Amino acid sequence: MAASSVVLILGSGPRVGASVAKKFASNGYKVAVASRSGSGTKTAEGYLSLKADFTKPESISALFDAVKTEFKASPSVIVYNAAALTSPPDENSCFSIPAETVVLDLNVNTVSPYVAAQEAVRGWETLPKETKKTFIYTGNAMNVTLVPMPMVMDLGMGKAASAFWVGLADATYSGRGSRFFYADERHVDGNLKGMELDGAAHGEFFAQLANHEGNIPWLATFVKDKGYVEFK
């Protein structure tokens, strides 16, 4: 890792986001975190804290500009960890969610990370050729597993759509030294982890992905204390 390596974590909650930030900081990265509660200043840990609204994809480019201004370099690693879910007013009907709400949630789950990937690629062009460039999307198993619960309608839609473009991006850019990953923590038996996600496990695995270690495919399913595990 170059001394100027920067990681930008979009969606920095107290579990996954905080653990990923801590791990990358311990590896010598300069860290920027963006969330709804961002302050625009440095945190106690020395991270650049940015205020973000992921329902507005047009606001994403300003976050990258702020990182480059602060650290004098574009982020080589981008982690998209934001997510949105709206429970349907009628718990028995996934179609009771208003269309305008679905659009806002899709902005968070699919469109904003897509724009972040666009900005990432632009920034990578300014970095040294030997720098490892990585985009990591925090996913779940809903791109391959149907969860028969109306409350996960728009979350599942967003994850499935994003898995496609992440996979396509990796197929397109991996030959150029840039990797895109859809990172999906699972239980040992391969089942959906749901709300039992382990923050520290994400930090360890994401650091491995950023180093392009282990020939891990874009669909990066992993298990705590085991790392990448392929599930059929």
Which residues are known catalytic residues? Answer: 159
Residue of 12, 14, 20 lying closest to 134 (CA atoms): 20
Yes or no: say if 121 and 197 are a contact pair by the CB < 8 Å rule: no
| Long-range contacts of the stretch 92-96 (C-beta < 8 A, 24+) | 92/150, 93/150, 94/150, 94/153, 96/150
Find the length of the chain.
Answer: 232
Quick one: how far is CA 148 from the chain centroid? 25
Query: Beta-carbon neighbour count of residue 129 at 10 Å?
Result: 8
Residue 223: strand pairing partners: 227
| Helix (DSSP H) and strand (DSSP E) numbers for the chain | 6, 8
Yes or no: say if 21 and 79 are a contact pair by the CB < 8 Å rule: no
Cα 119 from Cα 85, distance rounded (Å): 25
